Amino acid sequence: MAMDYRQLEMFRAVMDAGSVSAAARLLGLSQPAVSRQIAQLEADFDLDLFARERGRLQPTAHALELYREAAHAFEGVERVLNLVRKMRANNTGTLRIAAPYSFCEVLLPRIIARLAPQHPNLRYAVEPGTYEAIAAMVAKREVDVGILKEPVEHAGISTLPLVDSVVACALPSTHRLARGASIRVQDLAQEPLVMLGRNAAWLQEVRTLLNRAGKAPTVRLETHAVGAACGFAANGLGVALVPELLGAQYISRGLVLRPLAVRIEQRFAVGFPKGLQRAGLVGKFTQAAAKVARDLLREARRGA
């Protein structure tokens, strides 16, 4: 049985107006167009909703019963539409955001601060997590947007590019390696290292490059938190290998960032449930996030 909202709307208009011609005027349509839709509705329902008497439609008992039930449905639809109008007018509602822990100290507060003036009544719910957990939350529609790393291989997620970053070394400004514009991988073999995580693909790439150079890295510390890695580096415990975007949040601790001479890229993206409109808040959040990320990188490089 097929039926669409428009047919039901025309049925209600005929019942309210008392005739097809009056309903057509109410809807801004031609009389034949309304008549066709009513006939199609009767065919789809396999019910006689109107009796044709002297050129006029008289509602049957089926039509009267359907009209009573349809009224409840239309009340529900009207409530939804009124809520949407109110949300559009007042920017109310909640934007649910999933972000890595490393984004939550500096980057995400700046993003929300940039977005907030455009939506003064919008609330925010932030769910920190790992990239894997964030992808799962986005795919399950538990959040509206999530900060992810490309490639994102999940059928339920669409992405918009956020910013490209590189792997960099975080080290005190007085460190001997801070004098150059970049750091060769082989130079790291002579330094104690603070390694971020253990299984990240880019760290494996660094290890491979060191091995090819015949160097064995000296790992003094391992941690899963960018802030902790930068804190260890600031206290002279080693050179921290971090994504430049994330390390840029901590240069106020007396650190500088120096990219590796061999460019190892990381692409950050904003993920959202597939089928969700890219316009609206998803697009505005992405624009705000990209601007904040670019500005932070520019600040870090200028400070270098």
Two tokens, residue 165:
């970053």
pLDDT of residue 219: 81
Class of domain 164-266 (CATH, top level):
alpha beta
CA 277 to CA 283: how far, in whole Å?
8
Is-contact 283 276, C-beta < 8 A?
Answer: no
pLDDT of residue 304: 57
Same fold, 5-90 and 164-266: no
Two tokens, residue 199:
């299984």
pLDDT in tens, the chain (304 residues): 555 777 888 888 888 888 888 888 878 888 888 888 888 888 888 888 888 777 677 888 888 888 888 777 777 766 665 555 554 544 557 899 999 999 998 999 999 999 999 888 889 999 999 999 999 999 988 999 999 999 888 878 999 999 999 989 999 989 999 888 999 888 887 789 998 876 667 777 777 777 777 666 778 888 888 999 999 999 999 999 999 999 999 887 788 999 988 888 889 999 998 876 655 888 899 999 999 999 999 888 876 5
* Domain 94-161+268-303 grouped into CATH 1.25.40.10: no
Q: Which helix (H) or strand (E) holds 85?
A: helix 61-90
> What is the DSSP code string of 177-221?
GGGSSSB-GGGGGGSEEEEE-SS-HHHHHHHHHHHHTT---EEEE
Long-range contacts, 195-203 (Cβ 8 Å, 24+): 195/219, 195/221, 195/222, 195/223, 195/229, 195/241, 196/222, 196/223, 196/224, 196/225, 196/226, 196/229, 196/240, 196/241, 196/242, 197/222, 197/223, 197/224, 198/222, 202/167, 202/243, 202/264, 202/266, 203/241
Domain boundaries, the chain: 5-90, 94-161+268-303, 164-266
Residue 36's nearest CA partner among 22, 24, 18 is 24
Q: What is the CATH number of domain 5-90?
A: 1.10.10.10
3-state secondary structure 100-165: EHHHCCCHHHHHHHHHHHHCCCCEEEEEEECHHHHHHHHHCCCCCEEEEECCCCCCCEEEEEEEEE
